[in-house]
A and B are shown apart, each in its own frame.
Chain A
Amino acid sequence: MEGTDFDEAAFFRSIAGSGVRALLIGRRALVALGVPVLTADYDFWLHADDVVALNQAVESFGLVPNRTPDEARQVGRYVLENDEHVDVLIARVVKTVDRTTVVFDDVWSRRRELEVAPDARIAVPSLDDLILTKRFAGRGKDIDDIRLLEALRAEEGSQ
């Protein structure tokens, strides 16, 4: 089997070096924290003012946005694609399926940083906030991920 030639370390390094306020969320964040789940794509929650900067940071990887920055801000999300799929949420405020309000700036202030490649630190939400993000879309598989995050929280709490 052949993987793509996508350089994940360079991708994260480029994002980290750009200074954008980007939180890695979704299952890729779970993996980085220590939960073995399968995922095909990358999910970020990005500060709405940093859309242009993120697009510039990943342009050299052939990742093309499917919306203009203004369109993306109106819709609240967009996608960067080539063989890889990067889903970018840029809503400043999101309500969970059970109506809890989650504010990007608050989550950003509570972020933790992980070294995901040499010279590349990426921000992920705190565990409590990552569980909140898993309540955004309200899918059955998100409940499975919440269960795993709660196990991770128990594991980290015991250390």
Chain B
Amino acid sequence: MTERIRARLKAINDRTLSPAEWKARMSLAVTSEEHEQDRELIRWFRRRYTTPADRLAYARRAYARWTWIR
């Protein structure tokens, strides 16, 4: 991915939505399946890394891996 594309994606991701856009996006319902997937992801993370300190350490390692892969 080029820096230009990366910057463009970041700009899209960081864009502030208008109140109308925010309301429209927030009104999109999360399916029960999606909600359960989110909860399972959280359950995995909290089982694997049981303390806030362990979770924060994981996040730093994960970010370092991600920036290396980029």
Q: State whether A3 touches B60 (Cβ < 8 A).
A: yes
Q: What is the interface residue range for chain B against chain A? A: 35 or more
Of A15-23, A51-59, A101-109, A110-118, the stretch lying at the interface with chain B is A110-118
Q: How far is the CA of A138 from the CA of B44 in the complex (A)?
A: 29
- Do A28 and B39 touch (CB < 8 A)? no
Judge if B2 is at the interface, Cβ distance under 8 Å: no
Name the A residues within 8 Å of B52 (CB-CB): 32-33, 114-116
A3 contacts across to B, CB distance below 8 A:
60-61, 64
Q: Does B65 contact A1, Cβ atoms closer than 8 Å?
A: yes
Chain B residue nearest to A2 in the complex (CB): B64
Q: Determine the main DSSP class of B at the interface with A.
A: helix
Q: Does the CB pair B65–A36 fall under 8 Å?
A: no
B23 interfacial by beta-carbon distance below 8 Å: yes
Which residues of the partner chain B approach A38 to less than 8 Å between Cβ atoms? 59, 62-63, 66
Give the residue among B16, B38, B64 with the most A Cβ atoms within 10 A: B38
Assess the A9–B39 pair: CB atoms within 8 A: no
Known: A3-B60, A36-B45, A39-B59. A139 touches B53 (CB 8 A): no
Q: Mark B33-50, 1 if CB is under 8 A from A, else 0.
A: 011001101111110000
- Partner among A8, A35, A143, A147 whose Cβ is within 8 Å of the Cβ of B60: A8
Check: A148 CB closer than 8 A to any chain B CB: yes
Q: What residue of chain A has the Cβ atom nearest to residue B28's Cβ? A: A143
A140 touches which of B17, B56, B58, B65 (Cβ 8 Å): B17
> Do the beta carbons of B46 and A34 come within 8 Å of each other?
yes
A-B contact pairs, 20 of them (CB 8 A): A8-B60, A31-B55, A31-B59, A34-B46, A34-B55, A35-B42, A36-B41, A36-B55, A38-B62, A38-B66, A115-B51, A118-B53, A139-B13, A140-B12, A140-B13, A140-B25, A143-B22, A147-B38, A152-B42, A154-B39
